[in-house]
């Protein structure tokens, strides 16, 4: 009987230690998914500027939980993630105002950089 209680106590301690790991992994995936979606939308904004011949901007929302696309639609990040950065503007010649966006969660963050001379969008570690 005592052995069973000890085994149960040990199993409980292990569960307390291991349980947060899947949650942390999910949050890391949310940060990556948010950064990838942002990268795609930045490339689309650049493409829009090239096609239309007019500037296209992408700006973080004031609350930091998403960003505003060139057409005014707000794209929300996964829950538990926030975005920071000043925003960027793409021009008709493919260049951009440049900048760095950071998508962050509780334990991880990823940057999305916009090169001003070329308008290239890359994911970086901030």
- What pLDDT, in 10s, does the model give residues 30-78? 999 999 999 999 999 999 999 999 999 999 999 999 999 999 999 999 9
pTM comes to 0.81
**pLDDT tens, residue by residue, 71-82:** 999 999 999 999
- Contact of 82 with 65, CB cutoff 8 Å: yes
Dihedral class, residue 64 (left if φ above 0, else alpha if ψ from -120 to 50, else beta): left
Output the CA angle 104-83-119, nearest 5 degrees: 110
Distance CA 37, CA 42 (A): 9
What's the mean pLDDT in 90-118? Answer: 97
Q: Report the chain's C-alpha Rg in angstroms.
A: 21
Task: Name all domains of the chain by residue range, CATH numbers in brackets.
Answer: 2-124 (3.55.40.10)
């Amino acid at each position: 009987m005592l052995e069973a209680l000890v085994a149960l106590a040990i199993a409980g301690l292990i569960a307390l230690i291991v349980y947060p790991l899947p949650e942390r992994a999910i949050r890391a995936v949310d940060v990556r998914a948010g950064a990838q979606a942002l990268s795609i939308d930045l490339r689309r904004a650049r493409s829009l500027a090239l096609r239309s011949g007019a500037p296209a901007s992408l700006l973080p929302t004031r609350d930091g939980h998403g960003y505003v696309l060139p057409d005014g639609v707000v794209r929300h990040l996964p829950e538990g993630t926030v975005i920071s950065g000043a925003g960027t503007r793409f021009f008709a010649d493919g260049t951009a105002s440049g900048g760095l966006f950071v998508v962050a969660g509780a334990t991880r963050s990823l940057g999305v950089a916009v090169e001003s001379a070329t308008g290239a969008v890359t994911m970086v570690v901030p």
